[in-house]
Every structure is written in C-alpha cells, then in structure tokens.
Structure 1
Amino acid sequence: MSVNAREEDFEYVELFGIPALFTNSRIDRATVPEGWYAYDLRGSDYDPGEPVTVEPNVTVNHAGTILTHEPVTIPKEGFRRLKGRLDFLGESLTLEEFCDERGLIYPEPNKYQMCAASEDEGALFFSQGAEKDAELGCIGHFRFYFDQGGRFTVSSWDDHRPELKTQAFKDEFDELVNTLREKGMLGDLSAARSFCYEHEDAKMVDRYRPDTYAFKLETDAHTYCMRVFPNGGDYSYIYAYDKAQLQQATAPIIGKVSFASGETLAYTDPAIFLQVVKNELPYKPTSGFQYEVLTDDPQVRKAVDDILYDMFGEENPRPLEDYGLTEKGRKALLDAENPDLPHTYDWFVMENFCCKGEKRHGFSSLTGAIDHFNGLGCTEKRLCVTKDAVSTIYMAITHDGETQLDEGWRENPRFAQDSVIQEANVRLQLGIAGLEQSGPTMTLGGM
C-alpha cells in the first residue's frame, strides 16, 4: 500500500549529503508536492530489506522511498549505488515538520491530483458514439504510448465536440500533459508502471485488455479520464470532458415531482429539489403536487420529512440516525465482516487524545504504530485501526498514564473473527510498554 507524502511520519535521513525523508512504504507519487522529488530504494536479492541502490522507481525488492527537496543525480544506467551514503539521523518528522526544521515553505497541494475511477465511470474512458458523447460533453480524446525505449510518445488527438475545444481548454490540456510528463506518471514507462502498480484500486476490467488502469483528474472547468496500459507500445488514452455538462448528464436523480397537469420534473441537485418541495407542498390541494424521494441519502430523506412536519407546525420526531446508512454504506459494513474478502487496515496513533495538541499519526504497519505509541510520552493516547475505511476500533488505550488493551473488538462483528486483528492483539500484549492486563471496553464508531 502506498502512503500520502503529506500524512506520513518519516525518518530524517541524509542521502549523498542531501537532507531527506525516508519511509519503508511506497509513496503515492500523486501526493508528492511540486518541486519535490521521490526516489525508491532497491534491496539486494540476498537481503531485499537492505537498500543498495536509489532509482526513480522500483518494483521488485523495494526497500523504502526517499522524499527530498533537492534532486538526486541518477546515472544513465537508471540507478545509483548507495555505497554507505544513506545516513539515518535518529529523528521522526512529517513533511511539514521537515520544512519547518529546514526553513522551507510548506508546499501547496498539487495543482493536478488524480484518483482511481469508480466502476460505474468505466464507460467515460471509451468513445460512446456521437450522440452520447455530445450529451456527456466529451471534447475529444488524446492517444499516446510509450515506445520500446520507454519514452512518452504522442500519437493523435480526435475531436468529439470541437466547439468545446476552446483556447482555454487547449492551454490547460497542454499544461496538464506537460506537468504529468515532467513530474508525474507520464515521465516514462517506468514512472507509469510504478504509479499504476501503486494504485491497484484503479485497475479496470477493460473490454480488450486485463491490464488497464483508469484514473480521473478534475480541474475547475474540465474532467479528464485517463486509461493507461503500462506496457511498451500499447496505446493509452485521455478523454476530456466539459465538467459542468458531464456532471449534469451523469448526476443521479435524487427526486421527482409531478402535477395534475401531467408535468413531471426530475432533480439531481438536493438543494433545488428540497426548495421545490417546500415551495409547492402548500398548494397540493389545487395543483395536484406530488413528490417522490429516490435517493437513499439519510440527510435528504430527513429534510423532506422535516418540511412536511413543519407545514403542520410540528417537529420531526425522527433523528437522522433513524434514516439509516446508504445502501453503499450498508454493503461496505457487511463486506467488512466477510473473512473471504480482501481487507485493508490503516493503523494510526492518536497523541494527546481529546486534549490540547491532539494529533493523528498514520502508519502502514502495526509495527510502526507500536513503536510510535511506545515512544510518546503523553498521558492520553490511543492506538487504533480502521478496516476497509469504514470501521474503526481502539486496540490500546493510555488514560491518565496507565496503558491497557481494549477488548471491544471481540464483540464487534467486523473484527471478532478477523485473524489480522487477533494476531495484532497478541502482538500488542507483547509489544506495548507499561501494559496493564485489563481495562474498559471502548469502541470507536465505524460508518
């Protein structure tokens, strides 16, 4: 799993005399700030965990990643031997703390940030015919490939809605592609492969190829859908859309209204739908106004009921919790209980929990979380884990300076039969400093 460069707790190092930050994890290159550089370390075949070379990207024998504000010279062979020039300085720092210590300006968020596309967006990465493309506001698509030497190569641009290809769009598109070539995944084939392999959640079931990755990037005015084949010679594509038109065409209908005249209207914007219901409901006896709520969003459903109760001078007696989770949320919680499905675990430590100076420290492994938890001197701290990004529990608690394991996970259906959590509990019994043998049961809410 790759980590966010802005959220990771790094080790302070010097690489070839250059102050830098080190993590055992892979850094999501999309989170590397502009003007900063990320390099992977490769371990030997005999000891994969011991770094021997520094390279732009490493797939096999990855032994860590370096983040630095200064570029590292890499010979034309594509790697540079460390030869003992990686020195650990015994300090743990975030990127922001590193900037403070070095007198650097903390970088602004990257202008272009890509994310994995969802399954229901898959069609946007292909041409869908003139009528559908016009409805979606598809400006056109750009085709490129990496040649046998791994170099980015332009193939062609095809118009879909040429009237939308304004000068502002062309300037933005040129800047986008050039930025991704200079600092991102389009630098060369190695960079594209590394970025794709770090984002397995972006892998899509392509109608032609199984090794396709789909990424989406949005600006103020446009949406870009990038379909990437991280193989030499294979075509990849970027489909460009007018953002406003695409959102209008793809937004789910959250409610409908109708009148005695036969007129029916559908709404995708919750605020507009709620305002129409509020305005028209008092005239129902004469207009024949009817409404239908089609979304499972609890807030929208409750807001409609609030309007109805308010019209009769009453207060809605049902709290938001009574309207339940969304279907997607309910499915995610059920999936988290299934031991046959793959799961993700995000470990983190809360420093000065519920106190002044509270801070969250995220880790890619339980080992890192335990080490950090033990190293904190505060009297209020928690070691926690979030499973599948939907359910979170405490694993260890320090309250008023006394440390105890939390056993609440044993009664939580998403964790009780989870072998990873069971193993973690055993490791915590051995690894947490100053541990008391029993303590109160506490759980942190999930969805």
Structure 2
Amino acid sequence: MKVDYSIYLNEALQIYGSQKKKSITKVAEILHKKHAVKTSFQTFRRGLSDNFKRINAVETAPRKISKRKKSTSKKTDANPFVLSAWNFKTGEMMDIDEYCEFYKLPRNDVKSYKLVSHTGTPFFNILFKENIEISKDLTEDYIANAVKKYIQPIKLPQPKKMESPLVDRLIYTDAHIGMTPNKDGFALYGGKWDEEELLQHLNETVAFIVSEQQGNKLIIDELGDFVDGWDGETVRKGHKLPQNMDNQQMFDVGLKFKVLLIDALVHYYSEIEVHNICEDNHAGAFGYVINAAFKNIVELKYKNVTVVNHRKFINHYFCGDHCFVISHGKDSHALKFGFKPHLDPKQIEKIDQYLKQNGIYKKADYIEFSKGDSHQMLFDYCTSDDFDYMNYPAYSPSSEWVQTNFKKGRSGFVLQHVNPHQNYKIVKPYFFTSQYANSTQKAS
C-alpha cells in the first residue's frame, strides 16, 4: 500500500524539533503507532526518512548538474536538521508569527530574525532577547548541581534594631574573577588574584561593613565585570585575556563569593537589597547566569534578602527621596569607549535624557549616577547641578595591561550611609593593600 508521507511531515517535524536526542526512527515509531499506519513499520520508517532527506537536500532554485563523477564523501550522508519554514499544507512559506506558533517558540522574545532560503531547507535564523549561551562544560545540570550545594533554608533570629534612620550602601565593581594580573611573572608591579586573594578581600569587606554599620537596611550594588570573561575572551569576543580559571571555576568561585557575602552580613541587617549589573563588556551573559543562580539561592535561604539583576545598560532604583542610577559604564556590544571618568557635555546629555525619560527628576530630590569600568575612584559633585557622578574603584587589582599602559592603581570598595529623606550621604572608601605584597620578581 502506497503511503502519502506529506500528511505526516508537519507533525513529524514538530516531534523531531522537540526531541533532545534527534531520532527519525523514534519519530516514525510514534507516528506509526498513533495513526495506526497499515504499512509495515520498517517501510514507513524508510519512507519518512527519505522525505526528511529530501526536505533538507532539495534546493529551491534549479542548478546545473556537473558531469563530473559524484563525490562519495561521507558529508553527503549528513542530514543536519533545521526547523523548516515551509508550510506543507498551504504550499507557502511561513511568516515569523506562523513559524513561532508552529514550533512553540516564544515570539515576544524574538529580538531579530532573518529568513534563510538558500540552504535547501528554508528556515528562520532567530536571535532571542534572553539568549544566553551555555558551553559544553557549563551545562544546565552542572549549574543545577552547583546551586543545590548552597540551598539550605535558614531561619534567622531578628538582628538587633538600631535607632537610626540611615541606610547602609555597599558599592563594588570590576571583580574580574579569573583574571591573571601577572601571567609570566614579569608584570611591572606583579600581583596575585585567585580564589584565596578574593576571599581575603571578602573577609576585609565584611569586617569593615560590620564595624561601620549605621543602619538596619543594607543595599549592595555590584556594578559589572564580576567575572573576567568567557572562554578566555571578553563577552564582546576578539579580545584574548590571560586567565587563571576556566568557565566552571569562575562560576563556582563567583557564586561562592556572592553567597558567602550574604551569609556573613544577613545576621546584622533586618533587610538586604542587592542590585547586580549584568550588562557590561567582560562578563555579560555569563555574569547574568551567576547572578541568576545567586538570586535563587539567597532568596530561598533568607526571607529578608531580595536580588534584582539588571540587564539594561542603564538602570535605577529609589531609596526614599534618593535615586541611584547604576551602570557599568560600558556595554556588551555597542559602546566601544563608554562613560569616561570625567563627564563631558555629551555624557551629561545622555544621563539627562535618561532621567527625563524615566521621570526621575519628578520622583527624586537627590540623584547619583554610579558607574564602574574605569577602575578609578573619582567622585564628581560639581560638573552637574542635577546629579552626582561617581566612579567606583575596582575590586580586583590592575591587570598586566593596565599596569603597563597606565599605573599600578588601587583596588577597593565604598560604603555609604544614606538618609533616605535628607540630602545626607556619608562616603567611606576602603582600599585593599594585599594584592601587591611579595610580588617583586628577581631578575634572572
């Protein structure tokens, strides 16, 4: 009995596209049983397989056939599967809406798309808004197992209430976990930056915050470039980086750092609010993956901790009559130079337009624009009458490139005490002194 395979192809494509392990045999088995096909399974499987190959192999435009002997290369046997944009029922090409509906793709998350029709099987090349690439070594199972290590719900005693209207605010940026500041041992100023050094900085950070605590609420702002890159490059690609950790190690160490910071401080504050910048030029989507895991862990463990992961280039939040506008200063793809340490008229206009667009002038009396990226601590209260422009120091030591092209630099963080309803803000910088200790090299 002759089988009309065209009536099964749309359903077959849908089943095939949903499989984790692609198998035409499995598709044939499902359809043969579901539709009680009268022909034998083996005949049906072969016929369906032949139709799959025809879909992927036939060009839409006719070509001249070469008189040369046909190649017997194994490449001709390959059958790379794509989600076909051809509608076999109507005999017409699907548009993007039909394509997403048919294959159950999130249409609202499509950032851009392009119809590709010259490869044999027409399909849409789609870029999604939330498209985060996970490499072979950083799989979803690996992340899930890493997260489970830290999830232990804890019921905390209520911290001692402080009679103070102030809110404490910790700002740190550019941790560059995984960076090697002294790859060959001959960097101008040397330096060491690994898990041991990072956790030493963490201990100093916690000790300083606890000793200087003045409020019942703590806001933590992490302004981007938390890890140094992905696969030895920045998220922009094309910029090779000397690193002392692979992707998995950076994920483990970065997640450990963030969770330990909350574990240490949650006993002292009745409320902790965390803001993470996930749009920058080094960490990008990788930073978001770490921060997403971090958010799930600490919000499950503690009822008094909230985490907001910001994915736009510029973001903001309010603390009473204060508005803190936060940005790394450079993004993952568009801005080559970003915000400078010193404001210029073009940057003032860009910030001003953001403040107007979001109605911040009407909602806040006091505005601070907070940024990282420059690895310099420069606080500008004068250039603009409308907002403070704050460059925060890097949490990591200077890279070998920065040491050679600029200067040794200093690493640290800043603690603020803010009165939510008054023009009152105390700024306390803290600088680390350990990263260049014992780093001098003897000439051979």
Same fold (TM over 0.5): no
Normalising by structure 2, we get a TM-score of 0.20
Larger radius of gyration: 2
Which structure: greater strand fraction? 1
Normalising by structure 1, we get a TM-score of 0.20
